[in-house]
Amino acid sequence: MSGSPSDPGRMPGTAQRQDLSPGTVIAYSGIRPAPWRNGGGVTRQIASGRLDRSGNPEASTGEDWDWRLSIADVQTPGDFSAFAGMWRILTVIEGESMVLRIDGTERRLERYRPLGFDGGAATSATLPEGPIRDFNLIARTGTVSGHVRLVELSPGHPLQLTRGRLGVLLQGAATLQVGGQHVQDLERYDTIVGGGESTPAITGGGFVAVVSLEHG
């Protein structure tokens, strides 16, 4: 499936203001990778923004955001950038594991096991089994509370994405339904924005990272 802007409901992931209305699909294939300054990896920013009064995600541009979703390819060990005043939730989604040293304490991240920590902490990573890919949520402490849970899809049981939720297809074969009707097939790492009167749902088989955002 093409990731062009002309595909119905399918938006490329870019640094410009995005449409984050309910049912929108952010196409991973349309996101440009941004190489790290130290050459240790690349990041693809899925979306960033704020929450409106009702708790729906709304996009922002530049650094004017209260939450951000991204996927990074980590090729070599090294230090993390500091995000003071932020809470980070990191999940290894490809590869075996990554070991973080957070303010001097080691934590081992195994695949599909999210870990939350202070974004302002002195953090570095090692890769005992080689390069990995991770999914990263950053939320502004005291403004947005964010959570990540991994859900296994079950055929015949659609995963509903209600207000304040986004779903990222990590693996498997799945489709987007709105109002019980098939809308489109999904590609790996596509992101679906939840909410609205006709709640979007993901159906099929595989694993989805469900991000929940709320005020506080």
What is the pLDDT averaged over residues 96-112? 96
pLDDT > 70 fraction of the chain, expressed in percent and rounded: 91
Phi-psi domain of 168 (left: phi exceeds 0; alpha: psi -120 through 50; beta: other): beta
pLDDT attached to residue 4: 27
- Nearest-10 Cα torsion for 212, 16, 183, 149: -20
- Per-residue model confidence (pLDDT) at position 8: 29
The closest alpha carbon to 207, from 57, 91, 90, belongs to 91
Contacts of 107 (CB under 8 A, 6+ apart): 99, 100, 101, 115, 117
Fold for the domain defined by 17-141: Jelly Rolls (2.60.120)
Q: pLDDT digit string (tens) for 156-172?
A: 899 999 999 999 999 99
| Contact between 167 and 203 (Cβ < 8 Å) | no
pTM of the model: 0.89
* Rounded-to-integer distance, Cα 64 and Cα 52, Å: 14
Is CATH 2.70.70.10 correct for 147-215? no
- C-alpha distances in Å from residue 155, one per residue of 15, 128, 161, 168: 35, 35, 16, 17
- Nearest CA to 3 out of 205, 182, 186, 207 is that of 186
As annotated, the residues of the chain forming the CATH 2.60.120.10 domain(s) are 17-141, 147-215
